[in-house]
C-alpha cells in the first residue's frame, strides 16, 4: 500500500478540506492538486498543524 493512500476512499474530500484549513492556519498557500512548489519546511508545518489538531481533538474526547 502506498504511504499516502486513503484507507477509506470516501474520506478523501474531508482530508483535503482538513489539509487546506491547517495550511491556512500556518500561512501556507496550498492549491488543489499537486503542490510541488512547497518547501520542506512549509509542507512539514502543514502536516505538523494537522497532527496537533488531531491530538487536541482526541484528548478533548477523553475528558
* Residue ranges of domains in the chain: 9-25+37-62
With 0-12 / 13-18 / 19 or more C-beta atoms within 10 angstroms meaning exposed / middle / buried, residue 62 is exposed
pLDDT along the chain (63 residues), means of 10: 74 92 96 92 96 95 81
Contact 46, 23 (CB under 8 A): yes
Which pLDDT score, from 0 to 100, does residue 1 have? Answer: 52
Which pLDDT score, from 0 to 100, does residue 59 have? Answer: 94
Which pLDDT score, from 0 to 100, does residue 8 have? Answer: 86
Amino acid at each position: 500500500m502506498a504511504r499516502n493512500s486513503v484507507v477509506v476512499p470516501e474520506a478523501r474530500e474531508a482530508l483535503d478540506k482538513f489539509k487546506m484549513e491547517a495550511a491556512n492556519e500556518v500561512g501556507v498557500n496550498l492549491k488543489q492538486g499537486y503542490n510541488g512548489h512547497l518547501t520542506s519546511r512549509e509542507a512539514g508545518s502543514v502536516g505538523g498543524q494537522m497532527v496537533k489538531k488531531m491530538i487536541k481533538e482526541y484528548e478533548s474526547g477523553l475528558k
